């Protein structure tokens, strides 16, 4: 049955509006999912949220200095603040748990958020800018932003591939990763990680960055054990949530970033339910034998 001209026109408008946001949400989480697996294994879940907030603090300072959020000056400030955060997290990583690193990460997040509020408290558009750093503006992403960030992610992906043994060792086998060079590799990991977060915060905002990093990685850890399988599951999870969130955002006129975050949350609930049922069946089979 042929489609009506109105329906075809509506679909054409949707594709025109959503083309670049969809491409950004399909391409960019590729590296975020991989980094999220590192973060989950290190058990420092909120380090990405803290670094994202530190990057946002740099953007807030740029606004106070009258730099447009999309200029290189604002990006440089965000990256500089993020590298400071990376140095702090590198120096505070210890094998003892007298003061958990997660506590220090939480402190960095709260202080960075409070400083951002203070910096923009006297700005005429302070509330709007704080909202933008939190939920982002995925719908306004430009082809140049997508291309530039994707090239950056490819470069970082190559670096991670070349030094994969070192990075995998400090995250997945920390008891075997010893020696004076470990802090150097640790800082390089956090610096690269912060660079990725800084780049994506400008597009997706703090909440979407955190969700892309952690939710697919958690879903993957529930369903698989090998790194390859976890990567595949994480990428599928992020892709499905991106498509569902963007479609709901367009059809229901909802904030795009928040819609994708909720889609990721819904997927996590389904995965947890599936894992619980599977574990219960395995336990019943084991008890019967």
Residue 9 confidence (pLDDT):
47
Residues 6 or more apart whose CB falls under 8 angstroms from that of 61 comprise: 77, 81, 119
- What's the N-to-C CA distance of the chain in angstroms? 56
Report the number of distinct structural domains present in the chain.
1
Any idea which of 103-107, 226-230, 272-276 has the lowest mean pLDDT? 103-107
Mean pLDDT for all residues in the chain: 80
Is residue 6 one of the residues assigned to a domain?
Answer: no
With bands split at pLDDT 50, 70 and 90, how would you rate the model's confidence at 266?
A: very high
Q: Is residue 30 part of a domain?
A: yes
pLDDT value for 7: 46
Domain that holds residue 176: 19-288
Report the CATH number that the domain containing residue 267 is assigned in CATH.
1.10.3470.10
In a domain? residue 125: yes
Is residue 57 a part of any domain in this protein? yes
d(CA 69, CA 61) in angstroms, rounded, equals 10
Q: How far is the CA of 59 from the CAs of 81, 160, 220, in angstroms?
A: 9, 27, 32
In this predicted structure, the answer to whether residue 232 has a pLDDT above a threshold of 90 is: yes
* 3, part of any domain: no
Q: Look up residue 94 and give its DSSP letter.
A: -
Q: For residue 212, give both structure tokens.
A: 């892309």
7 within domain boundaries: no
Rounded to whole angstroms, the Cα distance separating 151 from 141 reads 15
List the single range of 66-80, 84-98, 107-121 with lowest mean pLDDT.
Answer: 84-98
- pLDDT, residue 217, reads 92
Note the pLDDT of residue 265: 94
- Alpha-carbon distance of 64 to 58, in angstroms, equals 10
d(CA 38, CA 75) in angstroms, rounded, equals 25
Query: Is 4 part of a structural domain of the chain?
Result: no
Identify whether 8 is part of a domain. no
- Helix intervals (H) in the chain: 5-27, 29-42, 47-64, 72-91, 101-120, 126-135, 143-162, 164-172, 182-223, 227-252, 256-288
Query: Alpha-carbon distance 32 to 102, whole Å?
Result: 20
pLDDT above 80 for 213: yes
């Amino acid at each position: 049955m042929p489609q009506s001209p109105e329906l075809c026109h509506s679909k054409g408008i949707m594709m025109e509006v959503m083309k670049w946001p969809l491409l950004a949400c399909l391409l960019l989480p590729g590296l975020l999912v991989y980094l999220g697996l590192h973060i989950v294994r290190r058990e420092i879940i909120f380090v990405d949220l803290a670094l994202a907030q530190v990057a946002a603090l740099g953007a807030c300072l740029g606004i106070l200095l009258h730099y447009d959020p999309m200029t290189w000056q604002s990006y440089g400030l965000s990256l500089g603040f993020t590298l400071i955060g990376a140095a702090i997290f590198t120096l505070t990583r210890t094998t003892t748990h007298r003061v958990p690193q997660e506590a220090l990460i939480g402190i960095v997040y709260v202080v960075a958020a409070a400083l951002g509020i203070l910096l923009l408290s006297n700005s005429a558009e302070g509330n709007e800018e704080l909202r933008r750093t939190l939920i982002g503006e995925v719908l306004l992403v430009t082809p140049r932003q997508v291309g530039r960030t994707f090239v950056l992610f490819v470069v970082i992906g190559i670096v991670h591939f070349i030094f994969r043994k070192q990075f995998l060792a400090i995250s997945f086998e920390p008891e075997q990763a010893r020696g004076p060079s470990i802090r150097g590799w640790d800082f390089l990991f956090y610096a690269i990680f912060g660079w990725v977060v800084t780049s994506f915060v400008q597009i997706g905002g703090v909440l979407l960055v955190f969700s892309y990093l952690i939710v697919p990685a958690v879903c993957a850890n529930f369903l698989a054990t090998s790194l390859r399988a976890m990567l595949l599951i994480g990428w599928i999870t992020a892709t499905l949530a991106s498509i569902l969130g963007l479609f709901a955002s367009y059809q229901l006129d909802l904030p795009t970033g928040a819609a994708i975050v909720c889609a990721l949350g819904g997927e996590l609930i389904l995965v947890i339910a599936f894992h619980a049922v599977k574990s219960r069946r395995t336990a019943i089979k084991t008890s019967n034998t």
